[in-house]
Amino acid sequence: MKTLFRTLTLALACASLAGGAWAQAYPSKPVKIVVPYAPGGPNDIVARLLAEKLTGAMGQTFLVENRPGGGSNIGAEAVAKAAPDGYTLLVAATSHSINMTLFPKETLKYDLLKDFAPVSLLMTGPLVVVVNDKSPAKNLKELVALAKAKPGGLSYGSSGNGASTHLAVEMLNTRAGIQTVHVPYKGSGPALTDLMGGQIDFMVDTMLSAMPFVTSGKLRALATTGKKRSPVLPEVPTVAEQGYPGFEAVAWIGLLAPAKTPPEVVAKLNAEVKKVLDSTEVKGRLSVQGFTAEWQKPEVFAATMASEVQKWGGIVKAANVKVE
């Protein structure tokens, strides 16, 4: 019995040391961060900022790979099926919590709450209603009036079918009693390009990707979607202020690894992400574009995602949104 006890104790000690050594050695080769959207959108911007900082901090290259398509599902599915070793990560967003309800279970090839190991939330922020500089709408009331004058005549872009940038407009359509035509894109970048070119009439987009064009005057901000005004656009009233009390749509972006990634690796990534998000430079680069850097422990982020799945699922059902 004593011999068996010693053997078990030694085995457990070796496993513990092996886990610790694995975490200490990680990363020993380049790490891929998958962005399930086209370049230029908020997920891409955040991923590249994170990759830059983690490369400097962890002694290995963190590479960003854009894998757009399928309403952000193609990239997510690829990471869910990747080896759970910490070398393939996903920059996830609000759309992934939406997709849990939007897509039929038989077609969605991953489960956000079961197939990933949460690393940390990265940021949250309100969305912004924007039109191009040639639009006759100078505020949300005027945009709604244009839509009511031409039912089905105004089109809006989004970063993908079922994304928060899509559902936020569906919420507005319902509240304002208007009909507008959805044009989904593979990310915010190409949608913003078409908005500025006049191919679509308006967007509800993340401030992170829209603000550079608002600042340059190529886009006009009509409203923000938070509970209160954004400090970045203090002169722009919220949707709630402009006749739709209680209206709120806030986007989030976070970092995930495949399920069963060693806890030691997840903990190491989480600690390094905290350092990145705590830096004055990163906080400043995000805040000027309307986002708040937000770090969470893995278990807290898991609870956040579960809450988001429930919230957006209710919106999908209430708006009767279908996959196009």
Are 154 and 4 contacting, i.e. CB atoms less than 8 angstroms apart? Answer: no
Does the residue 237 lie in any domain? yes
> Do 160 and 299 fall into the same domain?
no
- Which helix (H) or strand (E) segment holds residue 320: the answer is none
Does the residue 21 lie in any domain? no
> Do 119 and 34 fall into the same domain?
yes
Lowest mean pLDDT among 112-121, 156-165, 189-198: 156-165
Are 123 and 253 contacting, i.e. CB atoms less than 8 angstroms apart? Answer: yes
> Do 238 and 132 fall into the same domain?
yes
CATH of residue 130's domain is 3.40.190.10
Q: What is the pLDDT of residue 17?
A: 47
| pLDDT band, very low/low/confident/very high, at 67 (cuts 50, 70, 90) | very high
Q: What residue type is assigned to position 123 of the chain?
A: M
Task: Give the count of beta carbons closer than 10 Å to the beta carbon of residue 47.
Answer: 27
Are 93 and 72 contacting, i.e. CB atoms less than 8 angstroms apart? Answer: yes
> Do 109 and 164 fall into the same domain?
no
Given a cut of 80, whether residue 176 has pLDDT beyond it is yes
3-class SS shares of the chain: helix, strand, coil, % to 5: 45, 20, 35
Q: Which residues, other chains included, contact 149 with Cβ-Cβ below 8 Å and sequence gap of 6+?
A: none
Report how far residue 217's alpha carbon sits from residue 131's, in angstroms, rounded to the nearest whole number: 11
Does the residue 10 lie in any domain? no
Which residue has tokens 């422990």? 297
> Do 94 and 153 fall into the same domain?
no
What is the domain range of residue 182?
126-242
Does the residue 67 lie in any domain? yes
**pLDDT tens-place string over residues 203-216:** 999 888 899 999 99
Q: Which of 191, 219, 242 is the last residue of a domain?
A: 242
Long-range CB pairs of 192-198, under 8 A, 24+ apart, other chains included: 192/40, 192/157, 192/219, 194/157, 195/130, 195/131, 195/132, 195/157, 195/219, 196/132, 197/132, 198/132, 198/134
> Where would I find the beta strands (DSSP E) of the chain?
31-35, 62-66, 88-93, 116-132, 155-158, 181-184, 202-206, 219-224, 250-258, 292-293
- The total number of structural domains that make up the chain: 2
CATH of residue 47's domain is 3.40.190.150
Q: Which of 198, 217, 242 is the last residue of a domain?
A: 242
Q: Which of 194, 210, 242 is the last residue of a domain?
A: 242
Does the residue 6 lie in any domain? no
| pLDDT band, very low/low/confident/very high, at 21 (cuts 50, 70, 90) | low
Single pTM value for the model: 0.79
Given a cut of 90, whether residue 321 has pLDDT beyond it is no
| pLDDT band, very low/low/confident/very high, at 187 (cuts 50, 70, 90) | confident
Query: What size, in residues, is the chain?
Result: 324
Report how far residue 181's alpha carbon sits from residue 186's, in angstroms, rounded to the nearest whole number: 17
**pLDDT tens-place string over residues 266-291:** 999 999 999 999 999 999 988 877 88
> Do 229 and 152 fall into the same domain?
yes
Greater confidence, 87 or 314? 87
Q: Span 296-319, mean pLDDT?
A: 93
Given a cut of 70, whether residue 110 has pLDDT beyond it is yes
Q: Span 223-240, mean pLDDT?
A: 94
Burial class (CB in 10 A: 0-12, 13-18, 19+), 182: middle
> Do 269 and 233 fall into the same domain?
no
Does the residue 164 lie in any domain? yes
Report how far residue 230's alpha carbon sits from residue 224's, in angstroms, rounded to the nearest whole number: 7
